[in-house]
Structures are given as structure tokens and as C-alpha cells.
Chains A and B, each alone.
Chain A
Amino acid sequence: MSDIAPQSHVLSASLRREFVLAFRNRGEVANPLIFFFCIIIFVPLGISPEGKVLAPLAPGMIWIVALLATLLSLDRLFRSDWEDGSLEQMLLSGQSLYLIVINKVFVHWLTTGLPLTALSPFLGVMMSLPAEGYLPLVSSLFLGTCCLSLIGAIGAALTVALRRGGLLLSLIIMPLYVPVLIFGTAAVRSAIDGYSVSGQFAVLGAMLTAALVLAPLAVSGALRISVDS
């Protein structure tokens, strides 16, 4: 096993591969973002177009829809690699599965979480979010969507071997998203109310760190089982 490639090489190669795949499937990447917008349109239509009504709902609604959009995009995280057998090759390669998983999740975040974060100020305008809320909204989504991608990857890995895993994936991952949602929206809301938000960001950062360390372990374990079966 002396001819195993060095890790830096694997890292850059798999990163490049993920980027190319994401770029060639632009439609799939765009779908969650379009979904994000569509649902936000439903809020004024379904509740009320008045700014006074929308403003208190804005932080929570934007966060919930970002969460749903992430959930929607998770199914494709390992699916095509599993179907064409490249996932099996990755497991057999003898390389650290941890790094490969981190890479995949990172690119997933770059193509869903980051665009969602970038879009959120526009949705804030449409939802008449108060001015103090924008910076906390963007930064809490920035940290929070990382957590969502990492935790969601566990669900994606657990259901990858199932033909219709999409709905099941949402069902098993939703309860695990509760803390992220609570602290994400709390950060925006207390910023609007004029309180300090450092506590909420500290907790979001702590959750991100914990997820970064622990989630890939669970993902690797789940992927091994899925490939075996």
C-alpha cells in the first residue's frame, strides 16, 4: 500500500471533482435557491402583505425556508456517487474517508448554504426586515447553514441506499435541526430588539465546531454500511 497518494493531492483532486460536478449540474444547484424564493412569495400571499405583519415574521420565516431548502438539496449529496459506484471506489481507495466527506459537505455548502446566505438580504427586503436585522441574519445563516449541511449529511448518508429516501431523510433530520434554528433566529431577533447577540453566535460557533468534528464520523460510518448493503 505504498503507492497511496498523499492527502493534499487527494484533497485537491476531490475538491476539483466536486466543483466540476456541481458546475455541470447547474440546474440541480439552482433548484433549492428557486424554492427558497418561491416559498417566501407564499408568505405575504398567505398571511398578509403589510410590512407591520411581515416584519416580526421575517427572521423566522427566512430561517425556516433556508432550512427547508437545505433539506431539499441534501438528497443529491451522495446519491449519484452511490449510483455510479464512485462512492465505493472512494471507500476502497484507502484514503481518509473523513477528508472526502468534509470535502463533499464543503462543496455542498458552497453551492447551497452560501448562495442562500447571499440571497437572504434580498428576501429580508421583501419581508420588510428591520435594518438592524440584516447583518445578524447574514452572519447567523453563514454559520448556521454550515451546521445544516454537516448534520444533514448524516441523514443523506443513512438513506443513500434507499430508492425513495428524500422524505425519510427530512423526517429523520428535522429534530436534529431544532437547536440550530432556535439559535439562528434568536440571534436575529435579539439584534432587532437591541440586545447583544454575541452569546447566540458563540453557541452557533460551538455547534458548528462540534458538528465539524463529529458529523463526518457518523457520515463515514453510515456510508460504509450503505455501500456494504
Chain B
Amino acid sequence: MTWQWFHRLGSPKWFYEKTTVWLPWIAAAAVILLVVGSIWGLAFAPPDAKQGNSYRIIYIHVPASFLALAGYYVMAISGAIGLIWRMKLSFMVLKSAAPVGAVLTFVSLITGSIWGKPTWGTWWEWDARITSMLVLFFLYLGIIALQSAYRQQEAADKTSAILALVGMVNIPIIYKSVDWWYTLHQPATLKLTEKSAIDPSMAYPLITMILAFYAVYAWLLISQIRVEVLRREKKTRWVQSIGEVS
């Protein structure tokens, strides 16, 4: 009895019907938070003492990096759920989370590079965080490539779930080793600005933007999953009845 809700979660039909109701609210929250956060951050937050206005890219860079990493865990954990409980829906989450996460990682890399030009004087620096982000990007690409390589959906789902789990075990190791490698190299001249004591007037818009990115992520992910649900369940009666109504 108590597990009923859990199994209901695995039903694509239930998910589709619920998210039809939820999606407008999530989208509205995402738009409101994005507008508020970016106007607040770009226009009203004070300029940085050292970096002037160029620091304002933080309002995109940091939330994107947050979600890029969190997105991998969403993907890997849904893959694990799929392998253990054989839920159809969780494999759809896995497949949909990969491109969304890859795009966010790419955004994080690009904004980091743009931010690096005025602050560090170079577009690309082999910094520990940048390098581990790049490796994360390739982990995402690997999942996407494996997904598209298989013709049978079931094999694609299960193999990419295993790959995502192997990657999840490896992410802390990769992160630590790249960190260690960087401290050994000591490029010396450059240092990340100390962000430990960020002023509240800058922190609040940043928190708003992080929440906004979470909402955008949920929006994108759910929309992707809904497409995937329709594609995979197109032979069922409930999907065909949707087509007839519209």
C-alpha cells in the first residue's frame, strides 16, 4: 500500500497528465524568477570593487555550473532507479536529462571563458574547475552518443544507465585528481577571486538566479520527458486519444 505512490510515479500516463497541469506553473515561476533575478543582478546590484561590471556574468555562470553538476546526478540516479526497479519513466528521465545537462555545461564553459577574458586576460586557462567541467561535458556527450548508437531502446537505456553510474562513481575522483593536478602545476600568476565573502546585495540576486535556473531546468527537463513519453507510448490508446482531441 505504502509503495503505491512510488509505482504510480513510474507510469508515463500519470506523469503526462500531472505535468500537463504543473508545467504552466513551473514555466511561469521560471520566467518570473529569471526576469526578476537578471534585472536585479544586471541593473541594481552594485559593481564589484575590483572587477567593475564584468563580474555580472556570475549571475549566469554560477547557476549554470550548479545545474550542470546537479543534472548529472539527476541523470545517474534516474538511471539507477531504472536498473533496479525497471521503471519505464526513469529511463526517459535519463535520456532527456543528458542533452539538457550537456547544454548547461556548455553554457557554464562559455560564460566562464568570457568571464576569464577581462579578469584573467585569457579566454582559456587550464584551471582545475574549468578542466573538470570540460571532462563533465565529455561524460554527457558519451551518454548522448551511446543513446543514439543503439537501435533497440531497451539496450540503449540500460547501457547508458550503467555508463551514467560509472561516471557518477568517477566524478569525485576526476574532480579531486584534476584539483590535485592543478595545484601541482601552479600557474602562479592567476588566482580565482575570493568569493567567500560575497556581499548580500550581490548574493540575493545570485540566489534568485540559481532558483530561476532550477525552475528553467525543471521546465526543460519535463518538456523533454513529455516528448519522450509521447514518442515511446505512441502505440497506446491514451496517446492516440490525445491526438484525436487536438
Interface residue ranges, A against B (CB under 8 Å): 154, 158-159, 161-162, 165, 168, 171-172, 174-176, 178-179, 182-183, 186, 190, 203, 207, 214, 218, 221-222, 225-226, 228-229
Contacts and interface: CB of A to CB of B under 8 A. Distances in A.
B150 A162 contact: yes
Nearest to B146: A172
Given A161-B155, A186-B184, A222-B162, A179 B174 contact: yes
Interface residues of B, number: 31
A171 B162 contact: no
Nearest to B169: A214
Interface in B139-164: 139, 141-143, 145-146, 149-150, 152, 154-155, 158-159, 162-163
A85 to B, nearest CB: 17
A154 B142 contact: no
Contacts of B150: 161-162, 229
B9 interface: no
Contact of B155 (A190, A207, A214, A225): A225
A192 to B, nearest CB: 13
Given A172-B146, A175-B174, A183-B177, A218 B162 contact: yes
A222 B163 CA distance: 9
Contacts of A226: 155, 159
A171 B155 contact: no
A176 B165 CA distance: 12
B33 interface: no
A225 B177 contact: no
B135 interface: yes
A229 B152 CA distance: 7
B181 A186 contact: yes
Contacts of A165: 149
B142 A172 contact: yes
B100 interface: no
B167 A218 contact: no
B178 A158 contact: no
Contacts of A190: 184
B44 interface: no
A20 B197 CA distance: 65
Given A171-B138, A175-B138, 20 more contacts: A154-B166, A158-B159, A158-B162, A172-B142, A172-B143, A175-B136, A175-B142, A175-B174, A176-B170, A176-B174, A178-B135, A182-B178, A225-B155, A225-B158, A225-B159, A225-B162, A228-B154, A228-B155, A229-B150, A229-B155
B22 interface: no
Nearest to A186: B184
A172 B163 contact: yes
Nearest to B155: A229
Interface of B: 83, 135-136, 138-139, 141-143, 145-146, 149-150, 152, 154-155, 158-159, 162-163, 165-167, 169-170, 173-174, 177-178, 180-181, 184
Q: Which 4 A-B pairs have the closest CB atoms?
A: A229-B155, A172-B142, A179-B177, A225-B158
Contacts of B146: 158-159, 168, 172
Nearest to A219: B162
A87 to B, nearest CB: 15
B173 A207 contact: yes
A229 B160 CA distance: 14
Nearest to A203: B177
Contacts of A182: 177-178, 180-181
19 contacts: A154-B163, A159-B146, A162-B150, A168-B149, A171-B141, A172-B145, A174-B138, A176-B174, A178-B177, A186-B181, A203-B177, A207-B173, A218-B162, A221-B162, A222-B159, A225-B155, A225-B159, A226-B159, A229-B155
B149 A162 contact: yes
A159 B149 contact: yes
Contacts of B135: 175, 178
Contacts of B142: 171-172, 175
Contacts of A218: 162, 165-166
A183 B143 CA distance: 25
B213 to A, nearest CB: 24
Nearest to B180: A182
